[in-house]
Amino acid sequence: MRTTVGIIGAGPSGLLLARLLHNAGIDSVVLESRDRSYVEQRQRAGILEQGTVDVLRAAGAGDRMDREGLRHDGIELRYARQRHRVDFPALTGGRSVMVYAQTEVCKDLIALQLKEGGPLLFEAEALAVEGADTDSPRVRFRHEGVEDVLECDYVVGCDGFWGVARQAIPAELTRIFERTYPFGWLGILADVPPSHDELVYAHHDRGFALLSMRSPSVSRLYLQVPEGTDAEAWSDDDIWAELERRFETADGWRLERGPITQKSVTPMRSHVHEPMRHGRLFLAGDAAHIVPPTGAKGLNLAVGDVVTFARALTHERQTGSAELLDAYSPTCLRRVWQAERFSYDMTTLLHRAPDATPFEDRLRLARLERLASSRAAETELAEAYTGFPF
């Protein structure tokens, strides 16, 4: 089997890349180790930056998002039982975000790929990337019990942290930057309408809490918990009681309870792999970088990566110049490190570390009070939250 671009992974970045290449007249093949049902049900991110929304619309994948997604024009910060709203459009010249789950993005892109695009092979496990530093890289994969080879001009690894793509980059050429946080997020899905019409980020002495949503009838909520916590150790009543404590306000705001349908614990860490390119192998998304979810940047960073690659390859096809392809890694990493910075700032602002001192506790409150009283500080948050330019 041969194609121009071999894409490993059918998450939102791999699927979007296939769509962008199709629209540019460039052929590709997508290999996904899981089955279609798994990909369409895998719960991950739910906040789309303005740039991601614009890219999906331009790619012809935004119709259902625009019908069913929830546009959010701000977030609410809570601390010391106070509430402060950050108005995104007023601070950014009209930019906003969209609540639209990763599962729904994948469903839309899969449907388009199967209808109009090139081959999308589910249950096709990539085994290795070979010849990345040659003009003819190959992906060895297993599909329906048979090993095969996909010969490509380029390979893009959208196969996550544990995938084979980044393993093909020699260790001596690699630098790793990472940080692991001593806490995680206990996340729940609940069949109850959200108790607020925008996301609520709460700082509390007992730990961080986040009120989010997946739809007008499904709430997504999170609690900061110690690293290594077992989700099943928390009863439903204990979860709701703790959420109520951390979201409490002086004006009597009320958190609505409902049946919890899913609970899990997400570890918190930052990770950056440099470079993001080796020869004709390009890394995108979690294969190259991971951010703590506090800043809602993971999926959006992956979108930025594949937009950068698609533009660069289109430029090469139109002009014969590989200038943009050669600049892929530094171009992406500039945006990645800004997202890492913002995610780190949001995480340290809103979470209380187990060994936090009274001095550090007061500094966090001072930072929150600064956000609530300074338009300049608010603008910095709003610009970063709604998205860095692609």
| 12 annotated active-site | no
- Whole-number Å distance between alpha carbons of 97 and 89: 10
Spatial separation of the C-alpha atoms in residues 329 and 260, rounded to whole Å: 42
Is 315 catalytic? The answer is no
- How far apart CA 47 and CA 296 sit, in angstroms, is 6
> Catalytic pick from 201, 204, 292, 351?
201
CB 74 within 8 Å of CB 85: yes
3-state secondary structure of 304: helix
Distance set, CA 166 to CA 139, 151, 239, 378 (Å): 13, 18, 38, 37
Residues of the chain with pLDDT under 50: none
Q: Which CATH architecture has domain 5-71+97-177+269-345?
A: 3-Layer(bba) Sandwich (3.50)
Sheet holding 120-121, edge to edge: 120-121, 28-31, 5-8, 154-157, 281-283, 277-278
Bridge partners of residue 264, in order along the sequence: 187
Fold: same for 5-71+97-177+269-345 and 180-267+350-386: no
Q: Kindly state the DSSP code that residue 98 receives in the 8-state scheme.
A: E
Structure tokens at 68: 């069913």
- For residue 289, give the amino acid letter: H
Looking at residue 388, its pLDDT comes to 87
- The two three-digit tokens of residue 180, written as one number: 């692991």
* All structural domains of the chain with their residue ranges: 5-71+97-177+269-345, 180-267+350-386
For residue 116, give Cα distances in angstroms to 21, 107, 121, 218, 293.
12, 14, 14, 32, 33
Q: Tens of pLDDT along 338-388?
A: 999 999 999 999 999 999 999 999 999 999 999 999 999 999 999 999 998
Let me know if 115 is a catalytic residue. no
d(CA 328, CA 283): 10
What's residue 42's pLDDT? 80
Architecture of the domain defined by 180-267+350-386: 2-Layer Sandwich (3.30)
In angstroms, the Cα distances linking 308 to 21, 101, 311, 332, 335 are 12, 23, 5, 7, 11
pLDDT value for 45 = 73
Q: In the structure encoding, which two tokens stand for residue 284, read together?
A: 């995108």
How far is it, in rounded angstroms, from Cα 354 to Cα 364?
14
* Residues 51 and 390: beta-carbon distance below 8 Å: yes
Query: Is 201 a catalytic site residue?
Result: yes
CA–CA distance, 253 with 194 (Å, rounded to integer): 13
The closest of 43, 155, 23 to 107, measured between CA atoms, is 43
Contact 153, 130 (CB under 8 A): no
222 is catalytic: no
H/E element, 364 = helix 358-373
Q: Is 100 helix (H, G, I), strand (E, B) or coil?
A: coil
- Name the residue among 325, 326, 327, 329 with its Cα closest to residue 274: 329
Examine residue 275 and say whether the peptide bond preceding it is cis (omega within 30 degrees of 0): yes
Quick one: which of 6, 44, 26, 290 has its CA closest to 157? 6
Residue indicated by tokens 């090993």? 147
